Amino acid sequence: MNIQVFIVAALVAVALARPESAYSVPVDPEKPAKYNYNYQVQDDPTKNDFGHQEARDGPNTQGSYQVQLPDGRLQKVSYTVSVDSGYVADVMYEGEAQYPAEVTPGYA
């Protein structure tokens, strides 16, 4: 019987010592979400070119992102997200695809 009391006391102590979760309910759930962020990476030696920007005000979100494709083209995607229409994207490409005749593997 003493071991059962000890186990229950230990479980209660662990439950009380547990830190609060980082994911909690907002203080004012009626207040609509609002944010804006972006980032851009452009590194000429490695030919990396990518980025993303997005903004939200209430239930509607709009944004765009771009990425340098292996064939040399830049892919740009603009999108909107809403309750009524869902995710709607417009995809565009800049440049012309290039395929080298011979690919030489690079070794470090």
> Torsion angle, CA of 23/27/31/33, rounded to 10 degrees?
-20
Is residue 12 helix, strand or coil? helix
pLDDT at 106 over 90: no
Structure tokens at 38: 């972006």
| Displacement of CA 8 from its chain's centroid (Å) | 42
Q: pLDDT tens across 53-103, in order? A: 999 988 889 999 999 898 889 999 999 998 888 999 999 999 998 887 776
pTM of the model: 0.61
What is the reported pLDDT for 91? 96
**What string of DSSP letters covers 55-66?**
EEETTEEEEEEE
Q: In the prediction, which pLDDT does 10 show? A: 72
10-66 residue pLDDT tens: 766 666 665 555 545 555 667 788 899 999 998 888 878 889 999 998 888 999 999
SS3 48: strand
Q: Residue 1: pLDDT above 70?
A: no
